[in-house]
Amino acid sequence: MSTVTRETERKSLVGEVTSKMGDKSVKVTYFYKTPHPIYGKEVKRKTVLHAHDENNECKVGDKVEISETRPLSKLKRWRVIRVVEAAKIAGQVAV
């Protein structure tokens, strides 16, 4: 009898950190566009997701990649994979 390993493809999104709630927790806002059901014009929408930040490396304004995971708390169902782009600080010039 052979054993079959079943890997599930988990969703992965890129969003912006909008709030650093507490220890190892962040709110990530995912922006997307969808057509209006009647008029067809693209309408901006957003979804706010609670994510687990194991190393406390995220700051407000960072662009992060998050992935689905098992339930970690009442609201957290996502985990921060990596910081895609660090937040730009006003007044500093990137070299």
Q: Which domain CATH number covers 78?
A: 2.40.50.140
Whether residue 66 lies inside any domain: the answer is yes
Number of domains observed in the structure of the chain: 1
Domain of 42, in residue numbers: 12-85
**Residue 7: inside a domain, yes or no?**
no
Q: Is there a domain that residue 32 lies in?
A: yes
Task: Supply the pLDDT for residue 17.
Answer: 95
- Mapped onto helix, strand or coil, the DSSP state of residue 81 is strand
Whether residue 93 lies inside any domain: the answer is no
Give 25's contacts (C-beta < 8 A, 6+ positions apart): 50, 51, 52, 53, 76
For the chain, 95 residues long, give each residue's pLDDT as a single digit of tens: 566 666 678 999 999 999 998 899 999 999 999 999 999 999 999 999 999 999 999 999 999 999 999 999 999 999 999 999 998 875 555 54
Q: Is residue 90 part of a domain?
A: no
Tell whether 91 is covered by a domain. no
Burial of 36 by CB count in 10 Å (0-12 exposed, 13-18 middle, 19+ buried)?
exposed
Q: Is residue 56 part of a domain?
A: yes
8 Å CB contact between 28 and 12: no
Is residue 67 one of the residues assigned to a domain? yes
pLDDT of residue 21: 85
The tokens for 10 are 């988990």
Contact status, residue 39 vs residue 90, Cβ threshold 8 Å: no
pTM given for the model: 0.80
